[in-house]
Structure 1
């Protein structure tokens, strides 16, 4: 039996490709994936720290880029390691309060390039969601500032669940009966969360973090339109 050379070429091509998966639902991270608020937030947090006291911490945008994506508890332990637990709680409460106010008042564009246009276009083919390790109200504030409320079907956060991101993703997936979902994030923690939730991951390499040996990555959010 003679095997057609064309068939052999096609078979070789199929074997060389990365695993293909169907996407009907896209879940987004926020910080480092959809916008960068670190300069604004750093100023707000330093104001809160100076008011509350109890720590020698000084926050910068660079510091926050290493912390964003972690749960609020872990961030407090990292930044305010010299404070007692009661002071950490008070510091985070005041930081979040001043952060929210500063972002509400901010008039600069903090979004990454093409975010709004891409979300609008994606919503024509996919259902869109957000899961973040942020405090209550942060995702809602993002959606309001970006003007994308009509395009996001549901969202979840650490502030609501008190759970790590992987478990928050699982809750959102179960609540919306999602199949064929993918998570788009920018840190190793985001990737590990998808392992818990058992859904594929797309690495936003333009964001705050780095992910080792990631099979799927984008250099800009607009590349999602080519899924």
Structure 2
């Protein structure tokens, strides 16, 4: 049995894309960017680093300016999410309660400071999770952040649960098993254990 389960956030625990879409478009308008993002555009940004997002949504802008805009988008989205949170996947809390009774739970996500905290605070999930780490915490890759979190919490047997190829790559870098949240935003390039609903996770973590 796994001592710890480490989760990605977007596409694994919740979907915040509809909630943050207007926030991002408000920021683009503020910076006099004519282009407006669609729901699919936002989905395509989930799980990516700030640099990857900047290059994806503002390819014609200098990187320094596009990163400034992405940072502003990330700050604006927190205002929206703090009001109502994101869309939780079905039966999330019930399943977290089951998992927390048998494992230590953690989050490692490519996100800005305040994003994981907003998820935990708005939905009152703080008591389910022992620790978390976000992209900017130490300026490292997701895989390195997973390793840091494991060291800090003395985790020796853990699994990472995420929905994208980047999540699988991070688990590989951290040298831990991976479970694909196939209901999320992405696909992976090899066969790994997968869940098609969050409620399926406890049976894979025994």
User: Is this a same-fold pair by TM over 0.5?
Assistant: yes
Cα deviation for residue 56 of structure 1 reads: 4.5
Structure 1 residue runs of 5 or longer lacking an equivalent are: 1-21
Partner of 2:68: 90
1:86-138 CA deviation, whole Å, 9 max, x = no partner?
3223212220121000111237x610101111111111100000000000010
Of residues 105, 109, 123, the one that matches 1:132 is 109
Residues 173-182 or 210-219, more deviating:
210-219
- Map of 1:176-191 to 2, 5 A cutoff? 176-191=153-168
- Aligned length, in residue pairs: 204
- Map of 1:126-205 to 2, 5 A cutoff? 126-205=103-182
CA contact (8 A) 2:31 2:69 kept: yes
Partner of 2:14: 35
Secondary structure class of the residue paired with 1:120: helix
Residues 57-66 or 163-172, more deviating:
57-66
CA contact (8 A) 1:52 1:90 kept: no
Aligned mates of 1:104, 1:61 — CA distance in 2: 20
CA contact (8 A) 2:95 2:198 kept: yes
Asked whether 1:59 is paired with 2:41, we answer no
Partner of 1:99: 77
**Runs of 4+ off more than 4 Å:** none
Aligned mates of 2:67, 2:196 — CA distance in 1: 37
Secondary structure class of the residue paired with 2:132: strand
Aligned mates of 1:106, 1:24 — CA distance in 2: 32
The structure whose Rg is larger is 1
Compute the RMSD of aligned alpha carbons.
Answer: 1.4
Aligned mates of 1:24, 1:221 — CA distance in 2: 19
User: Normalising by structure 1, what TM-score?
Assistant: 0.86
